[in-house]
Every structure is written in C-alpha cells, then in structure tokens.
C-alpha cells in the first residue's frame, strides 16, 4: 500500500473509532475528548499492538508514524488557535479577582 493511501486509511480508522466511541462515552457522562483519548490508547501499541501485533504493524508501520505525527501536531496547533480565538478576556478580568481572592483565602487558612 502506498504512503498516501495508508495515511488516509489510518486517518479513517482513527476518525471512525472516535465517531463510534463518542456516543458510548456520552452515555457514561463523559465529554467527547475523553472518548478520543481512550481511542488513542486503544489504537496504540500498548493495547492494539498487544492484542493484534501483526494487524497493528500492518495498519501503523513505524515508517508511517512521522507523517501521522506531523498531522496530529498541526491539528493540535489549529485546536489551540481556535481556543485562543474564542477566549473572552473580558470575562477573565471579571472572574480573575475571584480567583485571586480564593487563592489568598487558601493561603491564610494554611497559616
């Protein structure tokens, strides 16, 4: 299998797994990010590589991991950019005082 088609297959398996896991974890009261992290662990070498090492090596060969890692890093940077874009600094200023007061009261309780 060529590199681009293997990469597309890897992405499809990861996305489909996340899509299937999200409703299951929602029934347990967990947010989608928890389902995605669990899928990451289940598809990783500690679980999938242990249960089915040949299939894991076929689907995620070590030669394809740098490209998959690069795509995941780009996704993380875009995600962090979106979080920063939606950050309401005015709201932080209003609740920042309360956080400071709580921190001071915790410190005075210890003394």
Verify that 71 and 95 share a domain, yes or no: yes
- Residue 84 pLDDT: 84
Verify that 73 and 104 share a domain, yes or no: yes
- Residue 2 pLDDT: 58
Verify that 75 and 56 share a domain, yes or no: no
Verify that 4 and 49 share a domain, yes or no: yes
pLDDT in tens, 28-64: 999 999 999 999 899 988 899 899 999 999 999 989 8
Segments forming the whole domain that contains residue 31: 1-60
Verify that 2 and 41 share a domain, yes or no: yes
What total of structural domains would you count in the chain? 2
Instruction: Count other Cβ atoms within 10 Å, centred on residue 13.
Output: 15
pTM exceeds 0.85 for this model: no
- Residue 88 pLDDT: 78
Contacts of 80 (CB under 8 A, 6+ apart): none
* Average confidence (pLDDT) over 71-85: 90
Verify that 3 and 56 share a domain, yes or no: yes
């Amino acid at each position: 299998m060529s590199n681009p088609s293997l990469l597309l297959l890897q992405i499809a398996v990861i996305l489909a797994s996340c899509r299937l896991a999200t409703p299951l974890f929602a029934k347990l009261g967990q947010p989608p990010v928890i389902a995605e992290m669990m899928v990451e662990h289940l598809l990783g070498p500690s679980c999938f590589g242990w249960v089915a090492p040949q299939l894991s090596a076929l689907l995620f060969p070590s030669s394809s991991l740098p490209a998959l890692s690069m795509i995941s890093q780009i996704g993380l940077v875009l995600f962090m950019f979106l979080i920063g874009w939606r950050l309401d600094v005015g709201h932080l200023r209003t609740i920042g005082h309360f956080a400071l007061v709580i921190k001071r009261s915790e410190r005075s309780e210890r003394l």
